[in-house]
Structure 1
């Protein structure tokens, strides 16, 4: 059924119940002439008279009685379902699905989402970890979490973490045996642990920035992995140099288990962002999650 047909039925039910065009028009917020025209068009389309009009009253015909009996309960059900959806949107409940890499899920999302789970028992949060740039619309996620620089322009992106740096690190044992590179070009003579991301196919190039200039180097080494956490483990074991974010390596840098090299070629970039489609209607549950994750002062 076309949308205008449904609207015509709403008008008919109002007139049939009020038995008056003026009162029905006031109830619907339209003019009496508009109501009259709608009823006339409906009758012409159905090929049957629904209402008998006199100067004093409006009464239903047999066909009008039948239509009111059949249609009114259906319209009430639709109105009830829509009302339930409105309540669903106002009361935090339901499932919020988020795609994120493993580190973000563990260290950025979980500390902030735990209070949400405790405070809103009707909200369920589903976290799916992966390192690909998931199409959150196609995969029916409510939001994704990625670094700020790799988010599509048609998404709303909200900062949920501080700026970050890509740091080049190695274990003290590796640096003792192979020395520390002084310039990025010297990495070509070192054992490096490479990262392969599903969406890139090839090996991810190491990135360096200095004085606003950006460049990339494709390094070589004995090990290729698809997880930054795995790369950190291998780096800690002395396999070779690795490039990860500073938040990934901070604990090990602080303890001395890893040392940073080429620091002057490492500048800050936008950190983790929550991103979601700009045109999607936000549920109350999603708003609760968004407020919990949003960095103070972020729009």
Structure 2
């Protein structure tokens, strides 16, 4: 393969990983038509079809999967070495890709990023807000943020938040017409706002513990919604009870627009961890961000 065709190979890698010409074109800074032309030209030179295209998606063929597996790691190593060379400059520089859920971004990542990026103007950070348990290796993220219990054992895990507690809350008007639950089983008498698990598709169970006893409760209600802000709005509007991290509703509890119940059943548990592959060499820019995020008591 001639060196002038390396750009087409890089473009192929992005398309194969994103499985979308639209997303790949956006990442590469190209038009979709130019990217499509580049892929057709690459396939003609290779003499084999690398991508299967439909009106809604694109995926690698068997030959495309083989090419992705063989050359992908080498290009990743080249990118890393180029980033490491930049460390010889006076100021740390480079690109860092992180994925985290909505709550982790709001409470852990964003408060740190504001000062971090002002301090290190040559470090570029891309944040993908996603509540699924995304595979950071296959999606080429440098790191992710998850609850400690969700981090795979073969990952390096760095604590980035204090221990957390969940809370069950509802509006004063709701409890004016419904007796507050005394034990988790009493939730069957209440309308609750559900959240669907983005990865598995089922409803998020409400988990409780007290004196070493753990319970997982399935609740029922009219509304199912994943967005955190709208679940809080639903509770304030009297649509039922919600279950969420307690720091999300500190202000509402303080002002009395929401009331907490079952507090003794919501014991602390390990908080968020930044996690990343243990075998990968990292840049100084990445190490600086890890230290900035690291939780210290």
TM-score when normalising by structure 2: 0.69
How many residues end up aligned between the 2 structures?
A: 217
Residues 84 and 283 in structure 2, CA contact (< 8 A), matched pair in contact too: no
Runs (5+) with no aligned partner, structure 1? 1-80
Partner residue, 1:277: 277
In structure 2, C-alpha distance between the alignment counterparts of 1:295 and 1:173, rounded to whole Å: 38
Shift of 1:195: 0.7
Q: Which shows bigger deviation, 228-237 or 154-163?
A: 228-237
Residues 100 and 130 in structure 2, CA contact (< 8 A), matched pair in contact too: yes
In structure 2, C-alpha distance between the alignment counterparts of 1:218 and 1:177, rounded to whole Å: 22
Partner residue, 1:88: 86
Shift of 1:88: 2.6
Q: Which shows bigger deviation, 240-249 or 106-115?
A: 106-115
Shift of 1:168: 0.8
Q: How does 1:174-253 map to 2 (within 5 A)?
A: 174-253=174-253
> 1:223 aligns to what SS in structure 2?
coil
Relative to structure 1, the CA distance from residue 82 to residue 243 in structure 2 (aligned partners, 3 Å threshold; closer, same or farther) is: closer
Runs (5+) with no aligned partner, structure 2? 1-78
Could you give the per-residue CA deviations for residues 132-167 of structure 1, whole angstroms, max 9, x where no partner exists? 011111111111111122111111111111111111
Could you give the per-residue CA deviations for residues 185-209 of structure 1, whole angstroms, max 9, x where no partner exists? 1111110001102112110111000
Q: How does 1:47-66 map to 2 (within 5 A)?
A: none
Could you give the per-residue CA deviations for residues 240-278 of structure 1, whole angstroms, max 9, x where no partner exists? 011101121222112211111011111000111111111
TM-score when normalising by structure 1: 0.69
In structure 1, C-alpha distance between the alignment counterparts of 2:162 and 2:247, rounded to whole Å: 9
> 1:110 aligns to what SS in structure 2?
helix
In structure 2, C-alpha distance between the alignment counterparts of 1:150 and 1:83, rounded to whole Å: 31
Partner residue, 1:118: 118
Cα-Cα RMSD: 1.8
Residues 100 and 146 in structure 2, CA contact (< 8 A), matched pair in contact too: yes
Relative to structure 1, the CA distance from residue 280 to residue 84 in structure 2 (aligned partners, 3 Å threshold; closer, same or farther) is: closer
Shift of 1:98: 0.8
Shift of 1:107: 2.6
Bigger Cα Rg: 1
Partner residue, 1:73: none
Shift of 1:279: 1.0
